[in-house]
Structure 1
């Protein structure tokens, strides 16, 4: 039963693949929960930080203009700087492919790029983009100090008026099943005020230092935190996509193993039937003699 031996080897291979992908799924699920907790925990802080900065700007008066808030007329003609945030590893389905398709549409040839993540760095090397900064190793637990150099480069380029704006391109985490390629403007800083949620700031607080000095210190920190939050959101999306990809691979391997097992059983049954038929035929021949 040469065909049966080959099928048996394929069944063992499918079973081994299913066990490996199952183990990778369990690891990814554990990392996914931690990454999602980090992303979800930082989102309210980031939103409140933006609202506080927005309210301070409103109270500071219309004549207050920080360089991080302003795009000059001459600067508007400059190219955009894009910060491309990807995963460090593969095996996460079409996560990076979808991200890079958005990047190809958004970033012109020879456009300046800051690459964050190993896959983004490798992809930039294959294009004509000008990589003004690279952060290839983020790890599974990104730290604020790891992303700060990239946001510092972005602010330096913007304040030197060499770029018109800075745009984040990353996979935004929504839930375990949904991650969307997203392009968000980082610079010039776009602050929002929500009056219903900011009634606490309508009180007559005395700021030391003053509102303008406080806002001048707060805006660079807000930029750093915005990039950090985008990175942790992308990391949560990566782990979620990897867990789903490994689960799909495990299910597919089990389906293949089941189909091969059925085919093996059929061939085995055919062989047994043929052997019984041979025995019966031989017995009938001896009986007739």
Structure 2
């Protein structure tokens, strides 16, 4: 996804140089568009028993909803994962798109299918911004909450070195059509990457949660064993005292 982003930026920069400064590169690169509607895509797990993995994403989505709503911006939720869907269903929050079985077994085809309607709504000006929220993998002990703007794409043309070979390329199709297809691939790859990253983080979180549960269970067994031994020792001591007292009384 990062490589595609670099290619998109370089192509857009070269198109600006090949044409005039007023060349319209499409909505995907318009950072100055007034934001009236935001689509929030969020990824959670289909299963639980993974600690605070799902709630971290849900809390961030709630904060984003609160922030955008306070600014008068409409929010459309697009959910991937049963846990997030169940939570917002329980809260009676409407979701524009819901998918179960994608985050637990991600494929490029599933990611492409999910993101197609998002991309089309953005191009058709039904939404002005697309934000992706998920819990990503950092290491086996830590997950990293990620919030990324998918659309529009941030472009830093000044920092791009224009390749001479790129300047010589003459596309057979219209430049805008080529760019739109690349943008679509860009959002598809980002969606697919987020699903894989989230699944990796989910497994690490579940391993950590199960490891903590195992350690807690072992500690509980040890504590109960100590209590049992103390109670048994007290019972034996009491019986010995009673026996000794009985013997003494018979003398």
CA pair 177-79 structure 1, distance change in 2 beyond 3 A: same
How high is the TM-score relative to the length of structure 1?
A: 0.73
What is the RMSD of the two structures over their aligned residues, measured on CA atoms? 2.5
CA pair 283-208 structure 1, distance change in 2 beyond 3 A: farther
Helix, strand or coil for the counterpart of 1:277?
A: helix
Structure 1: how far apart are the matches of 2:130 and 2:75?
12
The answer as to whether partners of 1:51 and 1:194 remain within 8 angstroms in 2 is: no
Task: State yes or no: 1:115 paired with 2:79.
Answer: yes
The answer as to whether partners of 1:114 and 1:150 remain within 8 angstroms in 2 is: no
Task: State yes or no: 1:70 paired with 2:34.
Answer: no
Structure 1's unaligned 5+ residue stretches are: 1-45
The match for 1:96 is 54
The aligned length equals: 237
Structure 2: how far apart are the matches of 1:191 and 1:129?
34
The structure showing larger relative contact order (alpha-carbon pairs under 8 Å, at least 6 residues apart) is: 1
Task: State yes or no: 1:57 paired with 2:18.
Answer: no
How high is the TM-score relative to the length of structure 2?
A: 0.83
Structure 2: how far apart are the matches of 1:142 and 1:207?
36
The answer as to whether partners of 1:169 and 1:182 remain within 8 angstroms in 2 is: yes
Mapping 1:187-206, distance limit 5 Å:
187-191=151-155, 202-205=163-166, 206=168
Report which of the two has the higher share of helix. 1
Match of 1:124 among 78, 88, 92: 88
Structure 1: how far apart are the matches of 2:10 and 2:35?
30
The answer as to whether partners of 1:165 and 1:187 remain within 8 angstroms in 2 is: yes
The match for 1:86 is 44
Structure 2's unaligned 5+ residue stretches are: none
